[in-house]
Structure 1
Amino acid sequence: MRYSEKELLSLALQTPDREGKILHRMSGTKARLEGYKDRLIRLKANFLFLFKTNEQGQILEPVGAVLLERCKIQPEPKADKANVFSIALQDDPECKYYFACRSFEECTDWLTALRNASYENMRSNIMLLQSKLSRHTGQQRLQHSHIPAAGQ
């Protein structure tokens, strides 16, 4: 996938699908509380953006972006903090992002939102719904229902 820094920043600053303050650390950082940094995270389409904020919660600068494709999003039951989930990239298994939430409910909500954000997941859901609709209506294909494979 190709994108420019300017396009990515523009997407990051649009109204997010979901956002929240959360603790974050990367794999390889200290597994103690000091390893976590307070971040604003924003979910927009299939990107998760991370921002530094000031004391008033205003965005200072972006510090990262994760494309939510070909990654494993899961709870971390053996984490050093409660209510932690992680995002591991398939192409780089050594790279893992950890996020610590304030509550179990917040953690579950983020897991659901992130898993549902990927193009692959949306494509699977559309194909499932299309199949159910075809069985219900008896039509083989619906109009305007071409769904390209990932990467097309």
Structure 2
Amino acid sequence: MRFNEKELVFLSRQPPERAAELGMRGPKKGDVVKRRLVKLIVNFLFYFRTDEDEPIGALLLEQCRVEREDDQVFSIVFLDEAERKYLFECDSQEQCVEWIDAVVKARTRWSSMGYQTKHAFRSTVGFLRRPHKHTLSLLFGVLSVCQYPLLYIL
């Protein structure tokens, strides 16, 4: 099954399990913290510019580690790309704990159900973790799937 840009944008517009404006720093050397609207939907963490409706990127929460870095900061690191660390700055310690719990549950829920992404897919989804000006790339790779309203997702 393949995803295309319209399906990912549609998924990003579904009611999120958690959403907030957070400080976000990407994995590139020299990246700075920027305010982003971050939405947790199923096992994707979509991020948006605060003044735009379409996501500029998404993190597939599979085979990743979530760690608390500071009282108000947590990170997401992918096991097969340990050098790529995404940092998220929350407004309070309580918000940080809530986000960590939500991300861990989203990651664990889908992994424990057996919806594992193949390593080859992880490399094709890499483009989603790099911000694009307005949209996500067109094709999204082959997935193991489960049913979601009108979509197949991990």
Give the structure-1-normalised TM-score. Answer: 0.68
Identity %: 40
**CA 68–76 in structure 1, closer or farther in 2 if over 3 Å, else same:** same
Matches within 5 A, 1:101-116: 101-116=90-105
Q: CA offset at residue 2 of structure 1?
A: 4.1
Provide the residue aligned with 1:150 in structure 2.
115
Q: CA offset at residue 67 of structure 1?
A: 0.6
Q: Which sections of structure 2, spanning at least 5 residues, go unmatched? A: 117-143, 145-154
What amino acid is the match of 1:39? R
Structure (1 or 2) with the larger CA radius of gyration: 1
Q: CA offset at residue 94 of structure 1?
A: 1.9
Name segments (4+ residues, structure 1) moved above 2 Å. Answer: 27-31, 120-124, 149-152
Q: Retained in 1: the 8 A contact 2:62–2:111?
A: no
Provide the residue aligned with 1:46 in structure 2.
43
CA distance in structure 1 between the aligned counterparts of 2:28 and 2:4, rounded to whole angstroms? 28
Give per-residue Cα distances to partners, 1:117-145, cap 9 Å, x unaligned.
Answer: 02x43564xxxxxxxxxxxxxxxxxxxxx
CA distance in structure 1 between the aligned counterparts of 2:17 and 2:55, rounded to whole angstroms? 17
Q: Retained in 2: the 8 A contact 1:41–1:50?
A: yes
Provide the residue aligned with 1:74 in structure 2.
67
Give per-residue Cα distances to partners, 1:81-127, cap 9 Å, x unaligned.
Answer: x5110001112222111000111100000000000002x43564xxx
Q: CA offset at residue 50 of structure 1?
A: 0.2
CA distance in structure 2 between the aligned counterparts of 1:18 and 1:150, rounded to whole angstroms? 21
Give the secondary-structure state (helix, strand or coil) at the position aligned to 1:96. Answer: strand
CA distance in structure 1 between the aligned counterparts of 2:2 and 2:40, rounded to whole angstroms? 19
RMSD across aligned C-alpha pairs, in angstroms? 2.1
Q: Retained in 2: the 8 A contact 1:53–1:61?
A: no
Q: Which sections of structure 1, spanning at least 5 residues, go unmatched? A: 125-146
CA distance in structure 2 between the aligned counterparts of 1:122 and 1:48, rounded to whole angstroms? 14
Verify: 1:121 aligned to 2:105, yes or no. Answer: no
Q: How many residues align?
A: 117
What amino acid is the match of 1:113? A
